[in-house]
Structure 1
């Protein structure tokens, strides 16, 4: 279900279950987490096989779950999304085709979200008497704002790539989303990692500024040392 291809500087992680629009089971979630957290490349490119990015949770798994099992499944998805967000590597999600429910939520956890013109996004859980519980109610308003988040999650409507770009759900629309991963990977790996770490820091602003200055000092000293050695 999860396919890994390691290049020089980019690990490509493909959710490879096109016959189910790349819907994820428990085992698929665990494999996805391992593929991202185990990357020893500075960039991970996350994509879906076939004509969809990811349909989210496999409804065959969700149907019939009792309260305790459903809560555990939600927590499993949350753990995977948290792992994507906290990964040492920069994670670029390339969305080509439909992203639905948990698929949107996994993309939200990525550092950069890029869509092709064929990409569409929806949180259709309300139509099933459910909602996106892999961190969606946390990350979606943080990224697109509370108003857009409520509109998407309460209406269940589908938005295309251009609408997603306008609301900030993705940062680019391009025919070649993989090129964005290569663009990031072409830069200094330590500097790229520091930028992710600093932007993701949710400490008080005074602590963030102190850590920012310290990180800049560390990189500048490394650069000076490299110049001296040269």
Structure 2
């Protein structure tokens, strides 16, 4: 990696750290309390404002200083998790690595993020299909941004340059869906280290197969 990219990686992480430091402790406690309640098996839609405030150790009126309602808190959780992960994966794809290594490198960053933000990713994985409508919509938008970022970066790398934009986007949609679908297994606390390695390798291979198939793509009626 070039020195310029090292600086870019550091500056991006510093910006994320500065943004986190600007958020108030009470806001952080409310978000963390909601994540912990969801991790105990509750659906986010079943949580009450007073319940979250009590778990965070604050009075309900303090909640309204930071969020309009519970769905507003859910949207903040989606935005925080999605933005950080998107930045990290974009930087991984921009490193000077062969395509084969970029896949493994990106999956490695993804898995590290899952482990470091277990509650956050369990929330997103669980609410992606079953959460309140506004939260589901926000998650869909974040997933769409993942795909858009990936397609843009791969075009910049001149990777699979024969694919029309529409098909490249479909390929990226499939890659992102594959990564999200793997999150539940990768976050299983009962897995041994060997089982984690097996799941990691399997995810890398699935994504490679997607790109191998994309490499053989041709439009019907062409050629």
TM-score, structure 1 as length reference: 0.28
Flag the structure with larger Rg: 2
- Greater helix percent: which structure? 2
Greater RCO, 1 or 2 (C-alpha within 8 Å, sep 6+)? 2
- Greater strand percent: which structure? 1
